[in-house]
């Protein structure tokens, strides 16, 4: 078994507040501070916890437009295109999926003008891209922070 029940509860608490002290976590779960510290160390060592981080509200931080892209590439160029895209600060994530041979990419920009500029001057300028499809976030029903997609 990867994690026992107490590990899961520790992850739940840290997901909601990663600055919670070992003492407080221990109190809530009825376990000693030392045991909590050791278990968290184990979760980090096993790579289950990748990092302690913050969830930033992108709109409130000035990124008003959240766009999803399907990027069609010449098959031979796909990995190279992906590696170029992931270096761009607007690109939040970039995946290869089953289905069509496209890259699936999430982009956060300040406004539509910045998006148009990104598409025409940066995305379309890359070698090996044959077609792009973009969509813009209308409504966020759920966005779970914590678990990496």
**Size of interface with its own copies, in residues (CB under 8 A):** 84
Residues from 69 through 88 that contact its own copies (CB under 8 A) = 72, 74-76, 78-79, 82-83, 85-86
CA 11 to chain centre: 17
C-alpha distances out from residue 67 to 15, 103, 111, 139, Å: 26, 14, 10, 12
Judged by CB under 8 A, does residue 6 bind its own copies? no
Judged by CB under 8 A, does residue 132 bind its own copies? yes
Judged by CB under 8 A, does residue 31 bind its own copies? no
Residues in contact with 29: Cβ distance below 8 Å, sequence separation at least 6, in sequence order: 6, 9, 10, 13, 36
Q: Does residue 86 contact residue 94 with C-beta atoms inside 8 Å?
A: yes
Minimum gap (Å) between residue 76 Cβ and its own copies: 6
Q: Closest Cα to residue 65, out of 4, 113, 125?
A: 113
CA pair distance 35, 79, nearest whole angstrom: 44
Residues from 43 through 62 that contact its own copies (CB under 8 A) = 46-58, 60-62
Judged by CB under 8 A, does residue 37 bind its own copies? no
CA pair distance 58, 63, nearest whole angstrom: 5
Judged by CB under 8 A, does residue 29 bind its own copies? no
Judged by CB under 8 A, does residue 23 bind its own copies? no
Minimum gap (Å) between residue 65 Cβ and its own copies: 8
Residues from 82 through 121 that contact its own copies (CB under 8 A) = 82-83, 85-86, 91-101, 103-104, 106, 108, 112, 115-116, 119-120
């Amino acid at each position: 078994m990867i994690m026992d029940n107490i590990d899961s509860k520790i992850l739940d608490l840290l997901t909601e507040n990663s600055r919670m002290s070992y003492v407080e976590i221990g109190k809530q779960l009825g376990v000693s501070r030392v045991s909590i510290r050791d278990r968290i160390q184990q979760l980090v060592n096993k790579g289950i916890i990748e990092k302690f981080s913050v969830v930033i509200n992108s709109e409130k931080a000035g990124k008003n437009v959240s766009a999803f892209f399907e990027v069609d590439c010449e098959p031979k160029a796909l990995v190279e295109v992906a590696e170029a895209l992931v270096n761009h600060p607007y690109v939040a994530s970039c995946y290869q999926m089953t289905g069509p041979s496209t890259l699936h990419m999430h982009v956060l920009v300040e406004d539509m003008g910045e998006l148009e500029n990104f598409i025409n001057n940066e995305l379309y300028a890359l070698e090996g891209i044959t077609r792009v499809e973009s969509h813009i976030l209308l409504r966020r029903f759920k966005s779970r922070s914590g678990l990496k997609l």
